[in-house]
Amino acid sequence: MAANSEGQPPLHPHLRRDKDGTRLIVKGKPFLMLAGELHNSSLSSARYMADVWPAMKKQGINTLLGSVSWEQIEPIEGVFDFSELDKVILGAREHDIHLVLLWFGAYKNASSIYAPPGGGRNILDVVTPFSKECMEADAKAFGVLLAHLRVFDIDHSTVVMIQVENEPGILGDSRDRSSLAEAAFRDPVPETLLHHLADNQHPQFTKRFSNVPQGGRHSWEEAFGPGEAADEVFMAFHFSRYFEKVAASGKAAYPIPLYANAWLNLDNLDAVDSSHAPFVVSTAVVAGGSGPGKYPSGGPCAHVLDVWRFGAPSLDLIAPDLYFHDYEMVCKDYTDKGNPLFIPEQRRDEHGARRVWLAYGTYGALGVSPFGIDTGPEAVGREYRLLSQVKDFVLGAPPAERFGFFFDGVLDPSIVEKPWTRIFGEIQVTVERAFVFGKQGPGGGMIIRLADHKFLLVGYGFQASFKSVKKGCTFTGILSAKELEVTGDGNFRQLRVFNGDETRGGISLVMPNEEPDYGDVPIATSIPSRTAIAEIEVYTLFEES
């Protein structure tokens, strides 16, 4: 985001990009969204939200995602009503909670149920993105909304980002078959799009589309292949152009960060989190789909991200809704070419909550947002309350100086689990499940390098060992290890000195589960840390040459 005409940073929320990644800046400071998405209708009522705010605050949640619908703010064409939305924003402001508004305009989950009544009848299915009238009306309403937010909120930055529409695309067919769409499909592919794709190809794009011409006059099927392949790229281009019209209208009024979210595709079970496979097979529509139309065709899936980035440059990022897919694979897909990671929807249970460590720690997520948070925040609240204590370290550490990890439930003893590893300078850090005389349990956490040989460990259910990879090093040992607690003024102080069982006799620093299962062995060596925050410094010894 560029500075204003006087060379000062913008006053409104914005993204700051540099060599260390992308940060959301709120009131002049980096802000880490410890977020949750509300149920669809929760934010429509300030009275309903009155009991929700304190419950969310108690769980360490500092940002809530909730819808503002076209039908609510413009019930009669040209007549806008922001009274209820303003009450909601004031409620969030009172409880020091930020908002990401979800614009439910013409598209929500590949349908048009939130568009206002038109022509004396309700729209029951989906509006074609080729409708100029709908596009202009949607863009106008969105622009009026953001103009209102600029006046009502710029001095407070309660609203920090806005999602444009929700999970767009076509279900039930690979492309729009309306007369407007058929006419557009007969036109050649814009040559500017082909030029863009020649230099910008996501790894998932290259897997799906081969021999795409770099220019010239070509039909969609000539350029991208027959049938569904051409249909999906065609729809992605025109949906992105629709979104650009809406987003540009909003940006002109109030240039806070805007994004679009994706209902992900599911081509095969290799892309599924292995623990979800049985469920996904029986509910493929929920998990994605094996072809365009089974998932929303034209939506911003990874393999058409390049098309979306070309078609909708006013969007600051594209965000995946991530429930059943391989979590790290999706994080990689949606950080390609510097796309900032934000996960606006994911599982809210313990399985999903553990994975936020990977998103924040390794992939520098702006935020992660489990869905349905107002009726189930406890699991993610455990992680957020801990993350809130170390958020300044997370925000201050470059990507190369931190990484996150997780361990799911108790494993089958026949499975050999691969540890998480990362090299920081000359020190290799290896993270495994926490040792216990009994049954291994789940875990999750993050490691941040503070100095050459000093590390901050945050989390539970893991143990970390350290080894120099520098030539000639014969030994790497623990110089000091201590548990830290946060004081009332937000600083750290030492609580305990760790040694003995807590360092496995100097082998590794153990961050046990909150409730270790000792099984049949009555030796309680794995006593949980009180704070789940520790600092360790290691030393190295070298042979004399």
- Integer Cα distance of 181 and 360 in angstroms: 41
pLDDT for the residue numbered 515:
82
What six digits make up the tokens of 111?
Answer: 């349908």
What six digits make up the tokens of 371?
Answer: 């869905």
Please enumerate, as own/partner, the contacts of 90-94 that have beta carbons within 8 Å and a separation of 24 or more: 90/46, 91/46, 91/49, 91/50, 91/53, 92/49, 92/53, 92/64, 92/158, 93/156, 93/158, 94/53
Please give the helix or strand (H or E) that residue 135 lies within, else none. Answer: helix 132-153
pLDDT for the residue numbered 284:
53
pLDDT for the residue numbered 545:
65
- Integer Cα distance of 408 and 442 in angstroms: 5
pLDDT for the residue numbered 529:
78
pLDDT for the residue numbered 119:
47
Please give the helix or strand (H or E) that residue 539 lies within, else none. Answer: strand 533-542
pLDDT for the residue numbered 130:
97
pLDDT for the residue numbered 120:
43
With CA atoms as reference, report the closest residue to 133 among 165, 180, 167. 180
Residue pair 215/194 in contact by the 8 Å Cβ criterion: yes
- Integer Cα distance of 457 and 155 in angstroms: 37
In this prediction the pTM is: 0.95
With CA atoms as reference, report the closest residue to 31 among 52, 9, 16, 19. 16
Cβ-based burial of 278 (10 A; exposed 0-12, middle 13-18, buried ≥19): exposed
Tell me, what amino acid is at 127? V
pLDDT for the residue numbered 49:
98
Low-confidence ranges of the chain (pLDDT < 70): 1-6, 118-124, 274-287, 410-414, 545
Residue pair 39/67 in contact by the 8 Å Cβ criterion: no
With CA atoms as reference, report the closest residue to 145 among 253, 8, 285. 253
What six digits make up the tokens of 88?
Answer: 């909601």
Cβ-based burial of 506 (10 A; exposed 0-12, middle 13-18, buried ≥19): exposed
pLDDT for the residue numbered 173:
96
Which string of DSSP letters, residue by residue, matches 64-100? EEEEEEHHHH-SBTTB---HHHHHHHHHHHHTT-EEE
